[in-house]
Chain A
Amino acid sequence: MIDVDIAQRIGRFALDVKFSVDAPVVGLFGPSGSGKTSVVNAIAGVQRPDRGTIRVNGEVLFDSVKRIDVRPEHRRVGYVFQDALLFPHLDVSANLTYGQRLRASSQRVIHEDHVVELLGLAALLDRRPRTLSGGERQRVAIGRALLAQPRILLMDEPLASLDQARKLEILDYIERLRDDLHIPIVYVSHSAEEVKRLADAVVLLSQGRCVAVGDVDALARCNTDS
């Protein structure tokens, strides 16, 4: 369950988004500049809204009235960025376990072996990020986020910098982890195709506002309406 009700002014851009969804995969959909990244940044705690509340599975991560602002490192929100942002000075294995090491062992329910197998990373473990292809990087980035034991996974346009063949490959992997790990995913994209394939529910953003929330069919209707 994800409850977001936030407002923020960034220069001339006004973000004012309110939605509440409960679905295994939530698609956050809208054109570039509609505020998708601002919303996931706020959920991850790396961008502070001017006011509002953010709750994930009932736990308050941000509440401007009660002055609650859980630090990003304590939110346990996994974040996969558009460019993988693998740490260039660490090899794949050290990248993968960066977050895992920082979690208490009682919190570790997702195990390295499992993630390596799920994302097909076994052959990459000793490699340096700069020697990886775009798709490989993105898989490592997903694994790294998962091993930090998140209770929710945010993916911000994870396929945007990949070619079509790679896109399909990564989509397969994302479907596998969706079916296997049962971690709610917020999937940000401006591609209706990706959102339709992955998401169970869709939040439609436009110019900093949430204009529709619904199941994937609703998205299809929205598209034909406009």
Chain B
Amino acid sequence: MFSLSPEELQILTLSLRVASVSVLASLPIAILVALLLARADFPGKTLVDALVHLPLVLPPVVVGFGLLALLGRRGPIGTVLDECCGIVFAFRWTGAAVASALMGFPLMVRAIRLSIEAIDRRYEIAARTLGGSSLWVFASITLPLALPGIVTGTLLSFARGLGEFGATITFVSNIPGETQTLPLAIYTFTQVPGGDAQAIRLSIVAVVLSVAALAGSEWLTRRASQAHRDDRR
């Protein structure tokens, strides 16, 4: 029987917490950015698009280093946040959540954007003529119709967050119980003599988690798109 030790359980719950918080916090922003990119025309749109995709193409270490420089204790944003509201990201699990949110952001935005672009805008026009304000139409028509993309994006970003390594270790280091997520713990065990068995156990946990996330994504997407299939012949 495969049972987890208290330390392993701690690593697992920390990983899940970091990934969940990162996804929940970034989802509203991702929907907004996806909506802007899908619908709005504004100067600098290409630049915004490129910026959003940057974490996808940059080495994660560079993203982590950038976060450290900006959000670290001496970084310009980090200092302000610390002084005004006592928010510190450096070497905290919340910092790990920021790192994984940023790394998963392009995947999230991309999936939601594609899904918004696929919506027939005449549904929204119809809803407006029926008395819906633009905000209400967004909430009652656009969002539900974009649900398959939102689900896919969320799960992709979640899975990406579970696997986040480079940006996390650079930004918040590898502190057991605080920032040591699953990949970081696995890495740590591979670096100590005799740690292979532990590394293998945690790797199995990672595989199970990832497969579950993928299967969940498939299932939810299929359900969502079944309920939302177009009504025209």
Contacts and interface: CB of A to CB of B under 8 A. Distances in A.
B231 A137 contact: yes
A102 interface: yes
Interface in A83-127: 83-89, 98-99, 102-103
A24 B223 CA distance: 46
Nearest to A72: B128
Interface string B51-64: 00000000000000
B122 A129 contact: no
B126 interface: yes
Nearest to B130: A99
A204 B233 CA distance: 31
B131 interface: yes
B232 to A, nearest CB: 5
Contacts of B123: 85, 87-88
A135 B131 CA distance: 24
Contact of B132 (A46, A102, A161): A102
A129 B140 CA distance: 16
A132 to B, nearest CB: 8
Contacts of B232: 83
A79 B126 contact: yes
Secondary structure of the A side of the interface?
Answer: loop
A137 B141 CA distance: 18
Contacts of B230: 88, 130
Contacts of A74: 131
A213 to B, nearest CB: 25
B229 A78 contact: no
A205 to B, nearest CB: 21
A216 interface: no
A99 B131 contact: yes
Please tell me the size bucket of the interface on A.
Answer: 20 to 34
Given A85-B123, A85-B126, A87-B141, A73 B133 contact: yes
A77 B129 CA distance: 7
A134 interface: yes
B145 A102 contact: no
Contact of A89 (B129, B133, B228): B228
Contacts of A44: 129
A93 B230 CA distance: 17
B229 A102 contact: no
A84 B133 CA distance: 21
Contacts of B77: none
B175 interface: no
Contact of A148 (B120, B130, B141, B231): B130
B21 to A, nearest CB: 29
A86 B131 contact: no
A86 B129 contact: no
B131 A148 contact: yes
A81 interface: yes
Nearest to A98: B130
Nearest to A88: B231
10 contacts: A45-B129, A73-B132, A77-B129, A78-B129, A84-B231, A87-B123, A99-B131, A103-B131, A137-B231, A144-B130
Interface of B: 120, 122-123, 125-133, 136, 140-141, 144-145, 147, 227-233
